[in-house]
Amino acid sequence: MILAEVKVALIHDWLTGMRGGERCLESLCELFPGADIFTLLHMKGSVSKAIEERRIRTSVIQTLPCAATCYRYYLPLFPWAIEQFTLDGYDLVISSSHCVAKGVKPPSRALHIAYVHTPMRYIWDMRNAYAAPGRMGPASRLLLRTVTGRLRRWDVAVNSRVDHFVANSLHVAHRIRRHYNREATVIYPPVETARFHIAGRTDDYYLVAGAFAPYKRIDLAIEAFNRLRRRLVIVGDGQEGSRLRRLAGPTIEFLGQRSDREVADLLSRCRALVFPGEEDFGILPVEAMASGRPVIAYGRGGVTETVIPLNRSTFNVQRSESQHAFSLQPSAFSPDPCTPTGVFFYEQTVEELIRAVDFFERSSDRFDPEALRAHALIFDRSNFEKRMIAFVSECYETWKRRTP
């Protein structure tokens, strides 16, 4: 069976901006040009042309009061809303899920492949990071505590609707095994390395970028660079914006949201990208390396699969999970798997981040921009598309042979 002849439904949690999950959905749209998109909520104009041009069907969440700005408060309704979609007539369902998309009800005679960016962070591994005092109001904390148990039970129960899991990193595959007792194939998400370039010069600033979510620990970077009195440029916005601005000293500069072109330019000229949170994969560090710039990162999570730390033998507190993930990195594709592309710190404290910055500054001549970019090309979008289409094709052909 040729996939071009298959009727495909793409399920995505919500469309409110272009982040890593939406970049992945964009690639899926390219792979399946006739596919329809189903999503809880769509803010028109918030995503790329390739997505906006599709037939997009939204859920009842779209019609609720203040949904565009306060949709997260409707979290208790998300499982019910995603289950209301009718997918009759589709042969192949591909969900792109970091919340509830994988819980969609596929037709009985359709194959469901779930590309999981992460099991829901706020009900599993990172609930405390979201609900910490100062990061979430009392009402929000109460809401999360009230619904966590129910959401966990639902999140596990609906896995029977998924035929094949795909994880965006080894780190996420490990969490899928731990929380869902299911195995997952790892296919790294697409990175548009062609959008990035090596600049002719670097400027005297470090860069942080991304959504201002609690788990990203931008507060850690601000406090460290306040003490260091080094210039830190921050791109992005989000729920923690007001708190982070209150923490910032005179060497911290907030630029707000910037276009893809502006972010690429900022990445190419920074001394290093600072990445203080634990991410499931983390596209931004790969984008920094594609710009020829090294990464100073918390050495846990997906970054251990993308960044080769100069100081991997310097610290004695490196976690076994990080070591395991690093050993499984696809270094066979790398021009030189021993070429360093960054510096890790292994405790999420201001002191350890300061120590990592100091180590980086004493060792900055060890990073070769051309080698960094060559390493980033491992994760280019073309590799994602080749692996994804091959995996989906194989699964679909096998499924068709077994289906009466």
DSSP 230-276: --EEEE---TTHHHHHHH--TTEEEEES--HHHHHHHHHHSS-EEE-
R_g of the chain computed on alpha carbons: 21
pLDDT above 60 for 92: yes
Report d(CA 95, CA 106) in Å as an integer. 10
- Give the residue with greater pLDDT, 277 vs 338: 277
Q: Residue 149's pLDDT is what?
A: 86
Residues forming a β-bridge with 256: 235
Report d(CA 114, CA 93) in Å as an integer. 8
User: Which helix (H) or strand (E) covers residue 286, if one does?
Assistant: helix 283-290
Q: Residue 329's pLDDT is what?
A: 39
- The model's confidence at residue 314, banded by pLDDT at 50, 70 and 90, is very low
Q: Residue 331's pLDDT is what?
A: 37
Q: Residue 134's pLDDT is what?
A: 52
CB 199 within 8 A of CB 269: yes
* pLDDT average, residue stretch 59-63: 96
Placement of tokens 């791109």 in the chain: 235
What is the sign of the dihedral through the CA atoms of 259, 260, 263 and 265? negative
Q: Residue 137's pLDDT is what?
A: 59
**Share above pLDDT 70 across residues of the chain, in percent, rounded to a whole number:** 88
* pLDDT average, residue stretch 127-152: 66
Who's near 358: CB < 8 A, 6+ residues apart?
Answer: none
Answer left, alpha or beta for residue 319, where phi above 0 means left and psi between -120 and 50 means alpha: beta
One-letter amino acid of 105? K
Report d(CA 161, CA 113) in Å as an integer. 9
- The model's confidence at residue 140, banded by pLDDT at 50, 70 and 90, is low
Q: Residue 136's pLDDT is what?
A: 56
User: Which helix (H) or strand (E) covers residue 298, if one does?
Assistant: strand 295-298
- The model's confidence at residue 124, banded by pLDDT at 50, 70 and 90, is confident
Placement of tokens 């630029």 in the chain: 255
CB 298 within 8 A of CB 305: no
pTM equals: 0.85
- Give the residue with greater pLDDT, 78 vs 18: 78
* pLDDT average, residue stretch 326-341: 52
Report helix, strand or coil for 112: strand
pLDDT above 70 for 131: no
Q: Residue 339's pLDDT is what?
A: 85
* pLDDT average, residue stretch 115-134: 72
Q: Are strands 206-209 and 232-235 parallel, antiparallel or unpaired?
A: parallel
Q: Residue 325's pLDDT is what?
A: 35
For residue 326, how far is the Cα from the chain centroid?
Answer: 18
Report d(CA 397, CA 13) in Å as an integer. 27
Who's near 78: CB < 8 A, 6+ residues apart?
Answer: 13, 40, 61, 99, 100
* pLDDT average, residue stretch 120-133: 64
Q: Over the chain, what is the mean pLDDT? A: 89
Placement of tokens 């920074």 in the chain: 270
Angle at 290 between CA 287 and CA 292, to 5 degrees: 115
* pLDDT average, residue stretch 75-94: 96
Q: Residue 336's pLDDT is what?
A: 52
* pLDDT average, residue stretch 226-242: 94
Q: Residue 143's pLDDT is what?
A: 66
Domains defined for the chain, CATH in brackets: 3-190+382-402 (3.40.50.2000), 193-379 (3.40.50.2000)
Report d(CA 283, CA 278) in Å as an integer. 12
Largest CA distance in the chain: 68
The token duo for 390 is: 């091959």
Report helix, strand or coil for 329: coil
Nearest Cα residue to 187 out of 204, 202, 170: 170
Phi then psi dihedrals of residue 69, to 5 deg: -110, -20
Q: Residue 138's pLDDT is what?
A: 61
Half-sphere exposure at residue 356, Cβ-oriented, CA atoms within 13 angstroms: 33
pLDDT above 60 for 326: no
Report d(CA 78, CA 158) in Å as an integer. 13
Strand order in the sheet with 273-275: 252-256, 232-235, 206-209, 273-275, 295-298, 342-345
Q: Residue 2's pLDDT is what?
A: 64
CB 302 within 8 A of CB 281: yes
